Structure 1
Amino acid sequence: VTNRRPLGQPTRHTAVLLFLLVTFTGSDASPIETNDELADDVKSVCYEQLYLEELAKLLKWNEQRTRNLDQISADAQQYKIASLIADRMENRFLYMVRCHKFRRLHQENKAWVGKANGDVTAPPLVISEHIGVLKATKGLAKTTLKIEANSVHGNGNAKNNIRIQLTQTTGSKELCTAVKNLTQISESHDKIKLMQLKNVKLSDRKAMEKNLFDKHVTITGLSSCTAAACYTSPFTTAITNCARQATSTLTGA
C-alpha cells in the first residue's frame, strides 16, 4: 500500500501569498511596481527555505532600531544624573542641555519607531513558523516505512486476517536539492532587494502533506493475483484473487 507523490517537485503551483506589511521607509511611499527578482526565482522547497532564512536576517534591523531608541533614553538619564552631581555650574548646565536634547530626540522617534515595530513584528513570526514547517516537511519526506522486525504482528485470534505493524526509518531520497547560497537560486540575482519586495510565495501547507511518506510495503509469496502493468488500482481491486502459494511463505518488504 502506498501514498504516492512525485518526489522533488515543488508545490509552487499551489502557493499562497504572504503580503509583508512592512513600512520600510517609515513614511507613506508609492506602491512597489516590481517585485524582488530573486523572490520570483524561488521554485523549490529548498530554495524557499533559504530565501526565507535570509529574509528573516534582513528584518532583524527592527530589533536594532528598538535597542537604539532604548539607548537614547538611557543616555538622557545618564546626563540627568551627571547634571545633579556635577561640581561646577557650567557642567550642570551642559549636562542638563544634553539631557533635554536626548529626551527630545527620544520623543521625536518614539511614535515612529512604535508604529514601525508593529509593522514588522508579524511578518518575521510568520516567516519563522513557515521555515520550521519546511524543515519538518523535508525531514518527513525522507521517512520510509518498513515492516517492524520485532514480534508485533498477529491476527487477534481471527483466522481471516493479519495485521502487519509498520515502523518509520530515515531514508536517503531528498525532497529537493539543498542550497546554501542565494546564487544557487539565481546566478543573476544574488541579493534580496528588500525595498522592492511586495510579496513572498509560501508553499501551501495542505499541498505539502502530499510530500509525506511516499513509501509502500510489498507482500510476496502470493499467487493468482490479477496482473496489472501500472500501480493505479484501489487496494480492494489490487488484492482481488490473491492467494498464498501452497509451497511458499509470505514475506514483506
Structure 2
Amino acid sequence: MTARKPTWRTAVFLFLLASFTGSNTSPIETKDELADAVESVCYEQLYLEELAELFKQGNEERTTNLEQISTDAQQYKIAAVIAASMEKHCLYMALYHKFRRLHQDQTQRVKQANADVDAALLAISEHIGVLKATTALAKTTLKLDATSVHGNGNANNNIRIRLIPTTGSKELCTAVTNLTEISESHDKIKLMQLTNVKLSDRKAIEKNLFDKHVTITGLSSCTAAACYTSPFTTAITNCTRQTTSTLTGA
C-alpha cells in the first residue's frame, strides 16, 4: 500500500489523496486505528465508502455555511433599511459589511477546499470500483467451452482451445456492512486526525483475479514435475494421448 501526505487549508476538512503505486515500502502512519485495522479488500471497500461519505458531508456543510453567511448579510442590510433609529441603522450596516467581507474572504477558500476534496473523492471512488471488480472477478474461473469452437485452422501441428469464464463460489473475502466488523474497539473514522489513506496497490490486487489455466486430461507419458514452474514447451514434452481415452478439459 502507498500514500501521499494531505494538504491542509483553512475552514476545510482534511484533504487527502493517496497514490495507487509507488516504491515507498515504509509503514504508512494513518493516525486512525480503524484504518490500521483494515486487513482485506472487503474491509478496505467499506472503509473508503464511509470515508467518501464524510468528505461529501464536509463539502455540503462548507457550502451551506457560506450560503448562510450571505443570507445573514442580506438580512442585516434589510434590517438597516427599516431600522427605527439611526443608531440601529448604523449597527445593522456595520454587521452587513462585516458579513459581506466574511463571505468574500471565505468564498475562494471554500471553493478551493471543495475542489480539493472532489479530487480526493474521484480517486477514492475509482479505487472503490477497482475493489468491487476485484471481488467479483476473484470468483471467476475458467473452463473448457463445451460447444464446437475448437480446432486447428487447417493445421496439423497445433490446436486452439477456447476457454470461457464462469462464476465460482469461492469469495475473496467476507463482505462487511458495519465498521464494527472491522474493529469493535474503533468503530469511527477519525477524520480530523487522519494523516494518510491507505489504498491497495493495484498490481497486488491483480494477483487476486481468477486463475488463467485449464487442465487437459486423457494424456500419458508426460514428464512429471511437482511444481507448476515449467514453460509450456517443457511441460508438454513427451505427452501423448492415451489410445483408450478421450481428451477432456477442466
Which TM-score band applies after superposition, normalised by the shorter structure? 0.7 to 0.9
CA distance in 1, matches of 2:44, 2:205: 13
Q: CA deviation at 1:228?
A: 2.2
Over 3 Å counting, the alpha-carbon distance change for 1:120 and 1:24 in structure 2 is: farther
Conservation of the 8 A alpha-carbon contact between 1:24 and 1:195? no
Structure-2 residue corresponding to 1:192: 189
CA distance in 1, matches of 2:54, 2:232: 50
Unaligned regions of 5+ residues in structure 2, if any? 14-28
Measure how far apart 1:73 and its partner are: 3.1
Do the aligned residues in 2 keep the contact of 1:55 with 1:192 (CA within 8 Å)?
A: yes
Verify the 8 A CA contact 2:30 2:197 in the aligned structure 1: no
Match of 1:159 in 2: 156
After TM superposition, give the deviation of residue 157 of structure 1 in Å: 0.6
Question: In 2, Cα distance between the equivalents of 1:199 and 1:234?
Answer: 42
TM-score normalized by structure 2?
Answer: 0.79
- Alignment partner for residue 48 of structure 1, among 44, 50, 57? 44
Q: Which runs of 4+ in 1 moved over 4 A?
A: 24-27, 74-80, 88-91, 96-102
If asked which structure has higher relative contact order (CA below 8 Å, sep 6+), I would say 1
Give the drift of 1:122. Answer: 2.2
Deviation readout 1:194-252 (Å, 9 max, x if unpaired): 12111111111122222222253111111111122333322222211000111211111
Structure-2 change in CA distance of 1:211 and 1:89 (3 Å): closer
Q: How many residues align?
A: 231
SS in 1 for 2:142: strand
RMSD: 3.1
Task: Identify if the C-alpha distance between structure 1 residues 139 and 19 changes in structure 2 by more than 3 Å, giving closer, same or farther.
Answer: farther
| Partners of 1:223 and 1:242 within 8 A in 2 | yes
Q: Give the letter aligned to residue 53 of structure 1.
A: E
Return the match for 1:240 from 215, 237, 241.
237
Give percent identity, aligned residues only.
Answer: 72
Deviations 1:134-162 (A, max 9, x none): 11111111111111222211111111211
